[in-house]
Amino acid sequence: MKAAVLVFPGSNREGDVAQAIELVTGRRPQMVWHGDGDFEKVDLIVVPGGFSYGDYLRCGAMAAQSPVMAEVKKRAAQGVPVLGICNGFQIVTEAGLLPGTLMRNSHLKFVCADVHLRVETSQSLFTNRYQAGQVIKVPVAHAEGNYFADADTMKRLEDRGQIAFRYCGPDGSIVDGRGNPNGSSSNIAGVFNDTKTVLGLMPHPENAVEPMFGGTDGKALFEGMVEALS
Amino acid sequence: MKARVHVTLKNGVLDPQGKAIGHSLNRLGFPEVGDVRQGKFIELELAETDKAKAKARVEEMCRKLLANMVIENYSIELVG
């Protein structure tokens, strides 16, 4: 699997996700600067976390209009898989590759913690190494992770199985918003586009791939992509 | 010509920052303050003399960048 990791001014998790990809593929991904409108053909494009353009105007708003994202939009339309993590999730929603948007956390605080996620489906190139309903533990670190979409969009996401991950309690329960760190609608932590070739999520699976750093539950996401895309 | 753009959250979109401001104002001795909504004010200097053209261009700017149409509305005021 050949991967590209985008780098914007203010990105800060690009190294972490490159490390995770190298761990499962044995190959360093290509790092692509935001001003590069063209880059090598790859099997996967990753939009990493951080604070692109200082989060000016709205998180991800500036990055979504950068030359590299115009190319990403083109390739995504051709079916090239795109993974947006944290700020990357905000960027791909601002770019219109995913429905909805990420708003300020309902409690207005930055949240940095391990959270439990329920995997909603194993039927995707991103989640095929998980079981539907499986509970995993990965960290979040954000101030704007509160997923919001209008009622029609929410219904469509539910009906079409486009919800990838939900925040939950350790037992997988989402009753009364259990385990929800940011006020996200329906406890949504990650969503797919309608072809399930684009995934955006707020949590950081790339920071849960080594036992030394508190867990390995995120590793299966990268292994699953390798399996699907190699 | 100048364009003044107000970007505000759509009705029904929760505004926790506005709520926090409201609570603070109530606590500071302004009990008459009810609902508070926070937005953005953006002023643009335009090299354009035709109002209709300017308005159309700024609307495009709002839709493309200045506002997120999923959660926000915008209004435009042209001055000068």
A58:B68 CB<8 A: yes
**How many residues belong to chain A?**
230
Indicate the number of domains in chain B.
1
Give the Cα separation of A91 and A11 in Å (integer). Answer: 11
Domain ranges of chain A: 3-229
Q: For the complex shown, is ipTM > 0.90?
A: no
State residue A159 phi and psi, 5-degree precision: -65, -35
Q: Are A5 and A46 in contact (CB under 8 A)?
A: yes
For residue B14, the model assigns a pLDDT of 87
Domain that holds residue B51: 2-79
| Chain A residue with minimum CA distance to B20 | A108
Tell me which residue has tokens 């998180």: A59
Residue corresponding to tokens 């995504």: A76
Tell me the CATH number of domain A3-229, given options 3.60.70.12, 2.40.160.50, 3.40.50.880, 3.30.2000.20.
Answer: 3.40.50.880
Q: What are the pLDDT digits (tens) for B22-40?
A: 999 999 999 999 999 999 9
Q: For residue A34, what are its two tokens?
A: 């935001």
When the pLDDT of each residue in chain A is averaged and rounded to a whole number, the result is 97
- Quick: pLDDT tens for A130-159: 999 999 999 999 999 999 999 999 999 999
Q: What strands lie across the sheet with A135-142, from one edge to the other? A: A30-33, A3-7, A44-47, A82-85, A198-201, A188-192, A163-168, A111-119, A135-142
Pick the catalytic residue from A86, A94, A116, A120. Answer: A86
Q: What is the pLDDT of residues A153-203, one digit of tens each?
A: 999 999 999 999 999 999 999 998 999 999 999 999 999 999 999 999 999
Say which CATH number the domain at B22 has. Answer: 3.30.1280.10
Q: What is the dihedral of CA A79, A102, A160, A152, to 10 degrees?
A: -120
A156: helix, strand or coil:
helix
Beta strands in A43-148 (DSSP E): 44-47, 82-85, 101-103, 111-119, 135-142, 146-148
Residues A31 and A41 sit within 8 Å (Cβ to Cβ): no
A101 contacts on B by Cβ (under 8 Å): 68, 70-71
Note whether A148 contacts B70, CB cutoff 8 Å. yes
